[in-house]
Amino acid sequence: MYKILKAEKLADKIYLMDVHAPRVASHCQPGQFVIVKMDDKGERIPLTICDYDREAGTITIVFQEVGASTIKMADLKEGDSFRDFVGPLGCPSEFIHEDLEALKNKKMLFVAGGVGAAPVYPQVKWLHEHGIEADVIVGSKTKDMLILEKELESVAGNLYVTTDDGSYGRSGMVTAVIEDLVQNEGKQYDVCVAIGPMIMMKFVCLLTKKLNLPTIVSMNPIMVDGTGMCGACRLQVGDEIKFACVDGPEFDGHLVDFDQAMKRSQMYRTEEGRAVLKVQEGDTHHGGCGNCGGDN
Amino acid sequence: MADVLKKVPVREQDPKVRATNFEEVCLGYNQEEAMDEATRCLGCKNAKCIDGCPVAIDIPGFIKEVKEGNIEEAYKVIGKSSALPAICGRVCPQESQCEGKCIRGIKGEPVSIGKLERFVADYALEHDIKPVCPETNNGRKVAVIGSGPSGLTCAGDLAKMGYDVTVFEALHELGGVLVYGIPEFRLPKQKVVAKEIEKVKELGVKFEPNVVIGKSTTIDQLVEEEGFEAVFVGSGAGLPMFMGIPGENANGVFSANEYLTRSNLMKAFDDNYDTPIVAGTKVAVVGGGNVAMDAARTALRLGAEVHIVYRRSEAELPARVEEVHHAKEEGVIFDLLTNPKEILVDDNGYVKGMKVVKMELGEPDASGRRRPVEIPDSEYEIELDTVVMSLGTSPNPLISSTTKGLEVNRRKCIVAEEENGQTSKAGVYAGGDAVTGAATVILAMGAGKAGAKGIDEYLNKK
């Protein structure tokens, strides 16, 4: 069992937890993820590592309520435990293997969409700790859903916040900010790292391709084991089929087939919808048709 | 009295009933039936059946005890050679191993050795007969990577020799392919697998699930930082293969590993569990091995019409005869001498069918099997909503790529000596599918035994 040492609500439907998992904390690097399983009957869910404390043996995870499992997970409190918590999984971000001096001469731009701010944070923090100041754009639907602003501010070179509805910071999508920075404010970047919903990463990539800006994305397909044994998370990257859990999750965004990846993410939509209804309706749940007597 | 030429028949669930549930198909012998079958054994002095068993169980020895009704004694005889008899009695391909060599099989049917082993082991589980525990612990730490059949066997043997053994497992449940691969209807998880593992725990073996060696820690760190003096790698061959044909990433195309993991390990077939599975209404399983049969019979139980699509003929099916027979009885349809060319996808990205081509058998290839050749202009389309690719697996390179000095061959299999499991790296031993590529449970157990012996010899010299 893996004890929750801190549980905090960051924004509407977005939660942060510190989980005691010393083996993961001692080995993890920016860019990697964990798989959690809440209880005996739970499913395995991949979550990016948002922060880690090697001394305390803890991992910080951030998740959003999007379906039955995350709704149930949101009820966990300080002192509760996850039944299973495995990692670190996937490859670390490539830049941690690069020569530090070369890296210092690189201008890096990070683009985070929604809860994508969580996986961006450890990368920018790592760079900051190694004397590199990267620019960060954070996009949020509304002011209320913005997370980790202070944390990102403390490690980023420049932080640009934008909301879809203009309720805070700049107004509009992250792509508008990228265009603005590069085309109107004369910013030059050597590489862009975009993490967020697939649709956002797709549009960032369409733009950066035009701008001739190499772009790395962190893919979030459906996963089961997360160790390379099933291929549920497979993606078309250029001419090759890659397993996001072992070959990624970070890939050259200009080579990823986003349309196919988004279609694959929809595979269990019906089942997920039924599961959410089951959690929300509790004992009154009857499968929907009113005749069948429930879907148990 | 039994007909000496024929096996005492074993009771099974009716095909029509079992095709709708996940309960075990074969119900096994009761004591009367087992004792009856045991009388068919001639008790050969120079018993060939023992040669056919990869762990060389004293087969006439345990059958003699069964014949006399001393089931606990029979269990002890098996226990000297095998740590997982309830599992092997169920899943070994006995027809090509012990039973294949039985003298009774020359004229008539061989003695039903697998079913007798299973009866003895189930009796021991039901009557809670404990394994013989080691008298002393020598305090020397050995790490075992992977809790599949090779790892469990190696750990059990080392514990019996007095070692302080810890097994590291990447998944959240113990058992490897026994829990994620082989379905409930062939190998019950709680009733059999969990209890057999409990017996290994009773020997003093410690288990750490959720540890991915190569990620959570490395073999070098286990040795340098955690004081393990030797390591056995039994990490299996879990990496699935795909065909590389168009449409393979469509929604509704699964590797058999994913399909079976969802159903077996995550219990997706049971609505009380959170993991979903899209059952499909018409399913094609591509391949002809045991895994293909398991996937097909699982899909059938989830309510689908199921086709096995295999490019050779029935005679070449690599699956066990008993499994093919069971699959047919339950209503799986065999599309033999048929090979997929393309998966057809609808506008929303879902499978809608498969383009296949008819095959004929040509000249034998290097392996001696007749090579399938496409028949020109024989392409046709079948309508489907689900395709399960069961084309075999290869070892995951995670461990070999993170362990300095560990030699692998071209197929990414770890190079290890057969008799003692020794690898190119001092103190590191390996066995099972990680060395051979996908093979059988009992071969993996044999390799686990050899590895334990190798490690004991190595540490005694150190």
Q: What is the pLDDT of residues B349-376, one digit of tens each?
A: 999 999 999 999 988 877 777 889 999 9
Angle at A265 between CA A7 and CA A12, to 5 degrees: 30
CA distance linking residue B170 with residue B172, whole number of Å: 7
Tokens standing for B199? 């017996």
Average pLDDT, integer, range B446-451? 92
Closest by CA to B132, choosing from B88, B75, B68, B65, is B75
CA distance linking residue B113 with residue B102, whole number of Å: 9
The separation between CA B184 and the C-alpha centre of its own chain, rounded to angstroms, equals: 13
Tokens standing for B261? 């993991």
Structure confidence by residue, pLDDT tens digits, B9-25 = 999 999 989 988 889 98
Tokens standing for B353? 């069918």
DSSP code string of B297-352: HHHHHTT-EEEEE-SS-GGG--S-HHHHHHHHHHT-EEE-SEEEEEEEE-TTSBEE
Closest by CA to B54, choosing from B167, B149, B185, is B149
Do residues A266 and B276 touch, judged by C-beta distance below 8 A?
no
CA atoms within 13 A on the CB side of B66: 35
For residue A232, the chain B residues in CB contact (below 8 A) are 254-255, 258
User: Tokens 């159903």 sit at which residue?
Assistant: B263
Angle at B95 between CA B91 and CA B101, to 5 degrees: 130
> Which DSSP symbol is given to B134?
P
Whether residue B396 and residue A232 make contact (CB cut-off 8 A), yes or no, is: no
pLDDT of residue A282: 62
Q: Between residues 203 and 242 of chain A, which touch chain B (CB distance below 8 Å)?
A: 224-225, 227-232, 234-236, 241
For residue B396, the chain A residues in CB contact (below 8 A) are 227-229, 246
CA distance linking residue B10 with residue B49, whole number of Å: 21
Structure confidence by residue, pLDDT tens digits, A144-192 = 999 999 999 999 999 999 999 999 989 889 999 999 999 899 899 999 9
Residue B388, strand partner residues: B254, B285
Whether residue B258 and residue A260 make contact (CB cut-off 8 A), yes or no, is: no
pTM score, two decimals?
A: 0.88
> Which DSSP symbol is given to A269?
H
Lowest pLDDT segment from A252-256, B186-190, B226-230, B361-365: B361-365
Whether residue A89 and residue B267 make contact (CB cut-off 8 A), yes or no, is: no
For residue A69, the chain B residues in CB contact (below 8 A) are 274
Percent of chain B with pLDDT over 70: 98
Average pLDDT, integer, range A192-204? 94
Identify which has the larger pLDDT, B387 or B272: B387
Work out the number of other CB atoms within 10 angstroms of the CB of residue A238.
12
Mean of per-residue pLDDT scores for chain B? 92
Q: What's the Rg (C-alpha) of chain A?
A: 19
pLDDT of residue A294: 42
pLDDT of residue A288: 45
